[in-house]
Structure 1
Amino acid sequence: MLENLKTTDTFAIIPVAIALMILGYFSWKTLNTSNSFQLGVKLYEQKDYQGAEAAFRKVISLNSTNDVVRLLLGDIVKDKGKVEEATELYQEVIASSPKNPDAYLRLANIFIEQNQPEKAKTNLQQAQALLQKQRQPQRAEKISHLLDKITAKINNN
């Protein structure tokens, strides 16, 4: 009977030990991701874009769902002239969070710089609609003025 008790205890301990190891791994991963994110934001604010880029890439490798990191990384690579990569990052944010107006705005800026007013207009309209739904009328109004300018440009061509 004592042998059966020990076997039962062993079978009970193994799942608990496995669960604790899994919990430990995810805790470590979350802490590591959080630390890298905070470092990236700090470096970004200090205008150390190279360091921020490395930290943000680490965050993405650990947690691929962080939209803020993708937006900031997109800004960094865009400023480095890597417009295609920035475009992809902004589009990833739109795909994962279609209600994020900042991704549409950043993408619209790229299209404005590339002299693609129709694509810019489409993204600005989407951002404006989202901002109105999110009760941010001041930001939506600023976009409205920009849309008027782009529409005039399109009509003049």
Structure 2
Amino acid sequence: MAFPQRVTIQTADFDLGAEVTALRASDARIGAVCSFIGTVRDRNDGADVASMELEHYPGMTEKSIEAMIDEAHRRFDILGVRVIHRVGLLQPLAQIMMVAVASAHRGESFQACEFLMDYLKTQAPIWKKEQTPEGARWVDARVADDAALARWGISASNA
């Protein structure tokens, strides 16, 4: 069965409803879809955030995320995955990224979605720069994000 494109890196916004509809299309085995949407906050680490700029390494980013989706398929009984990550200049409240996972039952979707998010937060070659009143600053992965990845038996390569 053909699934929609699994990974897209784009500047444009996305429609969660349309993406979930495409993920579920014509697959009557799907009984659950779990999704996560990340958005730009107006504060981070105690500072106001005016905007966030996201950069990536074209080609490498998609391959990296595809490899982790393959790993999610090996670990969990899932039927489909869709990941969208935006790049470019984004304002507070903007959607940054989406992970949607389809399975027959909710437990597998929840676990696979969390697994993919833990990976994306620490391993995907995407860099974030926030504009604050004090100037621009790069956002590093947090120790808590590395610990979340470690519970899946994966060491953070950026540690």
Q: Normalising by structure 2, what TM-score?
A: 0.34
Larger Rg: 1
Q: Determine which structure has the larger helix proportion and give its number.
A: 1
Q: Determine which structure has the larger strand proportion and give its number.
A: 2
With CA pairs under 8 Å and 6+ residues apart, which has the higher RCO, 1 or 2? 2
Q: Normalising by structure 1, what TM-score?
A: 0.34
